[in-house]
Amino acid sequence: MTKRQITQLSYEITGLAIKVHRTLEAGLLERIYEKFLVHELTRNGYDVVQQ
């Protein structure tokens, strides 16, 4: 991967994480955010392996 591709990937994933956080707002357990982030990433075409 090139530096430009890594930057773009980071930008896209961070954007989805912010979207999830804004939608759910603060105060939930980490596993809830993780579940919704995995859903958003998968919905946007990313292959995801959860911890």
pLDDT 10s digits, 1-51:
999 999 999 999 999 999 999 999 999 999 999 999 999 999 999 999 988
User: pTM, whole model, 2 decimals?
Assistant: 0.86
Residue 27 lies in a domain: yes
Using only C-alpha atoms, the chain has a radius of gyration, in whole angstroms, of 12
Residue 13 lies in a domain: yes
Token pair in block for residue 14: 């961070």
Token pair in block for residue 3: 């530096």
User: What residues make up the domain containing 9?
Assistant: 3-43
pLDDT of residue 51: 84
Distance CA 5, CA 26 (A): 30
Residue 14 lies in a domain: yes
Residue 50 lies in a domain: no
Residue 26 lies in a domain: yes
Residue 10 lies in a domain: yes
Ramachandran bin of 45, using left for φ above 0, alpha for ψ from -120 to 50, beta for the remaining angles: left
Residue 24 lies in a domain: yes
Domains in the chain, number: 1
